[in-house]
A and B are shown apart, each in its own frame.
Chain A
Amino acid sequence: MKEDHLKHIDTDLWVDEYSDMLYNYAQARVSDHDLSLDLVQDTFISALKALENFEGKSTIKTWLFSILKRKIIDHWRKQDSRKTRPMSSYFAEGSMGPHFLEPSSPKGLIPEFEEKINNEELGGVIHECIDDLPGKQKGIILDKLVQEKDSEEVCKDYDISASNLWVIVHRAKLQLRECLESKWVNS
Protein backbone atom coordinates (compact mmCIF):
# COMPACT_ATOMS: atom_id res chain seq x y z
CA MET A 1 0.00 0.00 0.00
CA LYS A 2 1.33 3.35 -0.99
CA GLU A 3 1.63 6.35 1.24
CA ASP A 4 -1.41 8.51 1.33
CA HIS A 5 0.34 11.76 0.52
CA LEU A 6 1.36 10.43 -2.90
CA LYS A 7 -2.24 10.65 -3.99
CA HIS A 8 -2.06 14.40 -3.85
CA ILE A 9 0.93 14.65 -6.13
CA ASP A 10 0.18 15.62 -9.69
CA THR A 11 2.96 13.80 -11.51
CA ASP A 12 1.62 14.91 -14.89
CA LEU A 13 2.48 18.43 -13.84
CA TRP A 14 6.03 17.34 -13.00
CA VAL A 15 6.44 15.94 -16.47
CA ASP A 16 4.99 19.03 -18.16
CA GLU A 17 7.07 21.36 -16.06
CA TYR A 18 10.46 19.66 -15.71
CA SER A 19 10.95 16.83 -18.20
CA ASP A 20 12.32 19.01 -21.02
CA MET A 21 14.97 20.70 -18.90
CA LEU A 22 16.00 17.49 -17.18
CA TYR A 23 16.19 15.75 -20.55
CA ASN A 24 18.37 18.49 -22.07
CA TYR A 25 20.71 18.43 -19.10
CA ALA A 26 21.13 14.65 -19.37
CA GLN A 27 21.39 14.67 -23.15
CA ALA A 28 24.16 17.29 -23.08
CA ARG A 29 26.13 14.97 -20.81
CA VAL A 30 25.49 11.43 -22.01
CA SER A 31 24.70 12.08 -25.71
CA ASP A 32 22.15 9.30 -25.93
CA HIS A 33 18.47 10.01 -26.42
CA ASP A 34 17.03 6.79 -24.98
CA LEU A 35 19.42 6.77 -22.07
CA SER A 36 18.56 10.39 -21.31
CA LEU A 37 14.85 9.58 -21.30
CA ASP A 38 15.48 6.64 -18.97
CA LEU A 39 17.49 8.86 -16.65
CA VAL A 40 14.67 11.40 -16.55
CA GLN A 41 12.13 8.70 -15.77
CA ASP A 42 14.35 7.21 -13.06
CA THR A 43 14.79 10.66 -11.60
CA PHE A 44 11.05 11.21 -11.30
CA ILE A 45 10.52 7.75 -9.81
CA SER A 46 13.30 8.23 -7.25
CA ALA A 47 11.82 11.60 -6.41
CA LEU A 48 8.41 10.02 -5.78
CA LYS A 49 9.95 7.38 -3.55
CA ALA A 50 11.87 9.95 -1.58
CA LEU A 51 9.12 12.52 -1.49
CA GLU A 52 8.72 12.36 2.26
CA ASN A 53 12.39 13.30 2.62
CA PHE A 54 11.89 16.39 0.54
CA GLU A 55 11.76 19.13 3.12
CA GLY A 56 11.11 22.01 0.81
CA LYS A 57 14.49 23.54 1.64
CA SER A 58 15.20 23.82 -2.05
CA THR A 59 12.83 24.13 -4.95
CA ILE A 60 11.44 21.01 -6.59
CA LYS A 61 13.51 21.88 -9.64
CA THR A 62 16.80 22.02 -7.72
CA TRP A 63 15.88 18.83 -5.94
CA LEU A 64 15.10 16.98 -9.19
CA PHE A 65 18.37 18.15 -10.73
CA SER A 66 20.33 16.91 -7.74
CA ILE A 67 18.72 13.48 -8.17
CA LEU A 68 19.45 13.49 -11.91
CA LYS A 69 23.11 14.37 -11.28
CA ARG A 70 23.42 11.37 -9.00
CA LYS A 71 21.81 9.15 -11.64
CA ILE A 72 24.33 10.33 -14.21
CA ILE A 73 27.23 9.59 -11.84
CA ASP A 74 25.81 6.13 -11.17
CA HIS A 75 25.56 5.55 -14.90
CA TRP A 76 29.25 6.29 -15.36
CA ARG A 77 30.15 4.19 -12.36
CA LYS A 78 28.42 1.19 -13.86
CA GLN A 79 29.92 1.79 -17.27
CA ASP A 80 33.45 2.30 -16.08
CA SER A 81 34.00 0.60 -12.77
CA ARG A 82 37.73 1.19 -12.70
CA LYS A 83 38.67 4.13 -10.58
CA THR A 84 40.60 6.97 -12.12
CA ARG A 85 44.13 5.84 -11.50
CA PRO A 86 46.42 7.83 -9.24
CA MET A 87 48.52 10.67 -10.60
CA SER A 88 51.76 8.75 -10.39
CA SER A 89 50.53 6.26 -12.97
CA TYR A 90 49.05 8.97 -15.20
CA PHE A 91 52.54 10.32 -15.68
CA ALA A 92 54.12 6.91 -16.03
CA GLU A 93 52.17 5.78 -19.06
CA GLY A 94 52.70 6.66 -22.70
CA SER A 95 55.14 8.96 -24.36
CA MET A 96 56.32 11.87 -22.28
CA GLY A 97 58.73 13.77 -24.50
CA PRO A 98 57.95 16.02 -27.46
CA HIS A 99 56.34 13.00 -29.16
CA PHE A 100 53.58 13.21 -26.62
CA LEU A 101 51.86 15.96 -28.56
CA GLU A 102 52.22 14.24 -31.92
CA PRO A 103 50.82 13.64 -34.49
CA SER A 104 49.29 17.08 -34.26
CA SER A 105 52.03 19.09 -32.59
CA PRO A 106 50.57 22.45 -31.64
CA LYS A 107 51.45 25.12 -34.15
CA GLY A 108 49.79 27.93 -32.25
CA LEU A 109 46.94 28.29 -34.77
CA ILE A 110 44.05 28.56 -32.34
CA PRO A 111 44.43 32.30 -31.53
CA GLU A 112 44.11 32.99 -35.25
CA PHE A 113 40.98 30.82 -35.36
CA GLU A 114 39.60 32.68 -32.36
CA GLU A 115 40.07 35.97 -34.13
CA LYS A 116 38.46 34.95 -37.42
CA ILE A 117 35.47 32.94 -36.29
CA ASN A 118 32.14 34.66 -35.65
CA ASN A 119 29.92 33.87 -32.70
CA GLU A 120 27.37 31.75 -34.53
CA GLU A 121 30.02 29.51 -36.05
CA LEU A 122 31.92 29.36 -32.78
CA GLY A 123 29.01 27.83 -30.86
CA GLY A 124 28.57 25.11 -33.46
CA VAL A 125 32.25 24.24 -33.77
CA ILE A 126 32.90 24.16 -30.02
CA HIS A 127 29.85 22.05 -29.32
CA GLU A 128 30.78 19.57 -32.03
CA CYS A 129 34.20 19.15 -30.44
CA ILE A 130 32.76 18.91 -26.92
CA ASP A 131 30.25 16.30 -28.14
CA ASP A 132 33.13 14.03 -29.15
CA LEU A 133 34.57 13.96 -25.64
CA PRO A 134 34.17 10.57 -23.97
CA GLY A 135 32.17 9.80 -20.81
CA LYS A 136 32.33 12.21 -17.92
CA GLN A 137 34.76 14.53 -19.70
CA LYS A 138 31.94 16.17 -21.59
CA GLY A 139 29.91 17.24 -18.59
CA ILE A 140 33.01 18.22 -16.65
CA ILE A 141 34.21 20.52 -19.42
CA LEU A 142 30.73 22.04 -19.76
CA ASP A 143 30.49 22.67 -16.03
CA LYS A 144 34.05 23.71 -15.29
CA LEU A 145 35.28 25.53 -18.40
CA VAL A 146 32.06 26.74 -20.02
CA GLN A 147 29.88 27.48 -16.98
CA GLU A 148 32.89 28.19 -14.74
CA LYS A 149 31.56 26.35 -11.74
CA ASP A 150 33.63 26.04 -8.59
CA SER A 151 36.09 23.17 -8.75
CA GLU A 152 34.83 21.93 -5.41
CA GLU A 153 31.27 21.80 -6.69
CA VAL A 154 32.29 19.98 -9.87
CA CYS A 155 34.31 17.42 -7.88
CA LYS A 156 31.30 16.83 -5.66
CA ASP A 157 28.88 16.53 -8.58
CA TYR A 158 31.06 13.99 -10.37
CA ASP A 159 32.37 12.27 -7.28
CA ILE A 160 36.04 12.85 -8.15
CA SER A 161 39.07 14.26 -6.35
CA ALA A 162 40.77 17.53 -7.25
CA SER A 163 43.66 15.71 -8.90
CA ASN A 164 41.21 13.58 -10.88
CA LEU A 165 39.67 16.82 -12.11
CA TRP A 166 43.03 18.17 -13.27
CA VAL A 167 43.82 14.96 -15.14
CA ILE A 168 40.36 14.84 -16.75
CA VAL A 169 40.58 18.48 -17.82
CA HIS A 170 44.07 17.85 -19.25
CA ARG A 171 42.90 14.84 -21.28
CA ALA A 172 39.84 16.70 -22.52
CA LYS A 173 41.75 19.83 -23.46
CA LEU A 174 44.31 17.83 -25.45
CA GLN A 175 41.47 16.37 -27.47
CA LEU A 176 39.59 19.67 -27.80
CA ARG A 177 42.67 21.51 -29.00
CA GLU A 178 43.32 18.87 -31.63
CA CYS A 179 39.69 18.87 -32.73
CA LEU A 180 39.58 22.64 -33.06
CA GLU A 181 42.86 22.78 -34.93
CA SER A 182 41.69 20.21 -37.45
CA LYS A 183 38.43 22.10 -37.97
CA TRP A 184 40.37 25.31 -38.53
CA VAL A 185 42.91 23.74 -40.89
CA ASN A 186 40.16 22.05 -42.89
CA SER A 187 37.85 25.04 -43.04
Chain B
Amino acid sequence: MNCKKVTYLIEKRAIAKLNFWEKIQIRLHKSVCNCCRNYDKDTTALNRMLLKVANITEPTKLLDKLEKERLKEALRNEIK
Protein backbone atom coordinates (compact mmCIF):
# COMPACT_ATOMS: atom_id res chain seq x y z
CA MET B 1 0.00 0.00 0.00
CA ASN B 2 1.27 3.38 -0.91
CA CYS B 3 -1.00 6.12 0.34
CA LYS B 4 1.46 8.90 -0.40
CA LYS B 5 1.63 8.01 -4.09
CA VAL B 6 -2.10 7.46 -4.40
CA THR B 7 -3.10 10.72 -2.71
CA TYR B 8 -0.56 12.42 -4.95
CA LEU B 9 -2.21 10.89 -8.02
CA ILE B 10 -5.62 11.95 -6.73
CA GLU B 11 -4.34 15.54 -6.55
CA LYS B 12 -2.65 15.30 -9.92
CA ARG B 13 -5.91 14.05 -11.43
CA ALA B 14 -7.60 17.35 -10.54
CA ILE B 15 -5.10 19.47 -12.44
CA ALA B 16 -3.61 17.21 -15.12
CA LYS B 17 -4.46 14.24 -17.31
CA LEU B 18 -3.60 10.86 -15.84
CA ASN B 19 -2.48 7.93 -17.96
CA PHE B 20 -4.23 4.59 -17.92
CA TRP B 21 -1.86 3.00 -15.39
CA GLU B 22 -2.19 5.92 -13.00
CA LYS B 23 -5.98 5.68 -13.08
CA ILE B 24 -5.80 1.93 -12.40
CA GLN B 25 -3.46 2.52 -9.46
CA ILE B 26 -5.96 4.87 -7.84
CA ARG B 27 -8.86 2.49 -8.40
CA LEU B 28 -7.06 -0.62 -7.16
CA HIS B 29 -5.68 1.11 -4.12
CA LYS B 30 -8.99 2.69 -3.17
CA SER B 31 -10.67 -0.70 -3.32
CA VAL B 32 -8.54 -1.84 -0.39
CA CYS B 33 -7.79 1.40 1.49
CA ASN B 34 -10.49 3.12 3.46
CA CYS B 35 -8.23 6.03 4.27
CA CYS B 36 -7.62 6.94 0.64
CA ARG B 37 -11.28 6.46 -0.24
CA ASN B 38 -12.08 9.04 2.39
CA TYR B 39 -9.22 11.23 1.26
CA ASP B 40 -10.67 11.26 -2.25
CA LYS B 41 -14.10 12.31 -0.97
CA ASP B 42 -12.57 14.98 1.25
CA THR B 43 -10.32 16.49 -1.34
CA THR B 44 -13.02 16.56 -4.02
CA ALA B 45 -15.30 18.48 -1.65
CA LEU B 46 -12.39 20.72 -0.71
CA ASN B 47 -11.75 21.54 -4.38
CA ARG B 48 -15.34 22.65 -4.76
CA MET B 49 -15.05 24.77 -1.62
CA LEU B 50 -11.89 26.44 -2.94
CA LEU B 51 -13.68 27.35 -6.17
CA LYS B 52 -16.57 28.86 -4.27
CA VAL B 53 -14.15 31.09 -2.40
CA ALA B 54 -13.09 32.65 -5.72
CA ASN B 55 -16.44 34.43 -5.83
CA ILE B 56 -16.21 35.66 -2.27
CA THR B 57 -14.19 38.83 -2.46
CA GLU B 58 -11.48 39.14 0.11
CA PRO B 59 -11.48 42.41 1.98
CA THR B 60 -8.79 44.56 0.42
CA LYS B 61 -6.58 46.50 2.73
CA LEU B 62 -5.75 50.03 1.73
CA LEU B 63 -2.35 51.41 2.51
CA ASP B 64 -2.51 54.40 4.81
CA LYS B 65 -1.52 57.92 3.88
CA LEU B 66 1.87 57.77 5.52
CA GLU B 67 2.79 54.53 3.80
CA LYS B 68 1.83 56.01 0.44
CA GLU B 69 3.76 59.20 1.18
CA ARG B 70 6.85 57.12 1.90
CA LEU B 71 6.46 55.28 -1.39
CA LYS B 72 6.06 58.53 -3.28
CA GLU B 73 9.11 59.99 -1.57
CA ALA B 74 11.20 56.92 -2.45
CA LEU B 75 10.17 57.15 -6.09
CA ARG B 76 10.83 60.87 -6.30
CA ASN B 77 14.33 60.25 -4.99
CA GLU B 78 14.84 57.69 -7.72
CA ILE B 79 14.12 60.22 -10.43
CA LYS B 80 16.15 63.08 -9.03
Number of A-B contacts (CB under 8 A): 164
Task: Assign chain B's interface to a size class.
Answer: 35 or more
Provide the B16-58 mask, 1 if CB < 8 A to any CB of A, else 0. 1000000000000000010111110111111111111110101
Interface pair B41/A108, CB less than 8 Å apart = yes
Assembly CA distance A170 to B46 (angstroms): 13
With an 8 A cutoff between CB atoms, is A110 at the interface?
Answer: yes
Residues of chain B contacted by A37 (CB below 8 angstroms)? 63, 67, 71
How distant is B38 from chain A, measured CB to nearest CB, in Å? Answer: 4
Interface size class of A (residues with CB under 8 A): 35 or more
Interface string of A5-21 (1 = CB under 8 A from B): 01101011011100111
A20–B64 Cα distance when bound, in Å, is 9
A146 touches B53 (CB 8 A): yes
What residues of A have a CB within 8 angstroms of the CB of B43 in the complex?
110, 173, 177
With A24-B61, A41-B71, A110-B46 known as contacts, the answer to whether A166 contacts B11 (CB < 8 A) is yes
The answer to whether B11 touches A177, judged by C-beta atoms less than 8 angstroms apart, is no
A residues adjacent to B (C-beta < 8 A): 2, 6-7, 9, 11-12, 14-16, 19-21, 23-24, 27-28, 37, 40-41, 44-45, 48, 91, 94-98, 100-101, 105-111, 113-114, 117, 119-120, 122-123, 126-127, 141, 144-148, 151, 162, 165-167, 169-170, 173-174, 176-177, 180-181
B residues engaging A (CB < 8 A)?
1-5, 7-8, 11-12, 14-16, 33, 35-39, 41-54, 56, 58, 60-63, 67-68, 71-72, 74-76, 78-80
Question: 8 interchain pairs (CB within 8 A)?
Answer: A11-B72, A19-B68, A28-B58, A37-B71, A41-B74, A98-B35, A148-B51, A169-B15
